[in-house]
Amino acid sequence: MFKAATILNNTRLDKELDIKDISKVLKVPCKYLLALESESIDQFPQEPYCSLIVKDYADYLGLNGQEILKLFRRDFAQKRKIKSTHKNYFSFTPQFTFSLSLILLLVIFLGYLFSEYLKFNQPPPLKVNWPSGGVVLGSSLEIDGKTDPEATVSVNQDLVIVDESGNFHKKLQLSGTDTKITIVSKSPSGKTTTDTRSLKINQ
């Protein structure tokens, strides 16, 4: 079964006609004539211009323009169907890209909400720099640590200032030989983290 493109190409070559000369006579760009002969669908002109070119080209070559046009439409329909079938496997269409963008934004947004939920409902982190060995030299102790910047911190029920990085510092006056220090960090949701140590005082 001969294709229209093959018939056009073979007839032109048999008659030793230059496609540039045909282009000038028919006043059709060479790229369209070459696209028709090679079945390069992506370079076909729009209809009805494409069908007119096929018929005029066939008539110029001494062929039956109407018959060649019928063959061309048959071939073109089959080739377009095959291309469409391959395209259905995967294609970055504007609709697909838009849908993918929405899904990604939704996932990011939900991830953010989930992280904020966990952050709001979890006890705040608390790190305290306790004296080495649990022994305090002298009657005073400077204690510091780090927690969540939005948390409030108390040392033995006395509130201390937490800076924007979550750092806090407190100077305590101690008495006796043993003292118990309790540090509590409380989140805005009311969750607390407590660190309690019993220290020995060596004066």
Q: Tens digits of per-residue pLDDT, 144-164?
A: 999 999 999 999 999 999 999
| Strand, coil or helix: 123 | coil
Note the pLDDT tens digit of each residue in 178-197. 788 999 999 988 899 999 99
Same domain? For 102 and 78 the reply is no
Give the Cα separation of 110 and 132 in Å (integer). 44
With 70 as the cut, is the pLDDT of residue 116 above it? yes
Q: Which residues, at least 6 apart from 100, have a Cβ–Cβ distance to it below 8 Å?
A: none
Q: Are 161 and 106 part of one and the same domain?
A: no
Domain count, the chain: 3
* pLDDT band at 96; cut points 50, 70, 90: confident
**Same domain as 74, residue 143:** no
Residue at which a domain ends, from 105, 121, 137:
121
Instruction: For residue 31, give the nearest of 49, 21, 23, 15 by alpha carbon.
Output: 23
Residues 30-46 have a mean pLDDT of 86
Q: Are residues 102 and 139 in the same domain?
A: no
Question: Is the domain of 170 the same as that of 117?
Answer: no
Instruction: Identify the pLDDT of residue 80.
Output: 54
Does residue 194 share a domain with residue 134? Answer: yes
Q: For CA atoms 80, 85, 86, 92, give the dihedral sign.
A: positive
Give, in order, the Cα–Cα distances in Å from 150 to each of 14, 123, 165, 166, 187: 86, 12, 9, 8, 7
Determine the pLDDT at residue 152: 94
Q: Which domain holds residue 30?
A: 4-87
Same domain, 109 and 149: no
Q: Do residue 63 and residue 99 come from a single domain?
A: no
pTM score above 0.75 = no
Q: In terms of pLDDT, which residue wins out, 81 or 150?
A: 150
Residue ending a domain, among 77, 101, 121, is: 121
Stronger pLDDT, 24 or 120, i.e. the higher one: 24
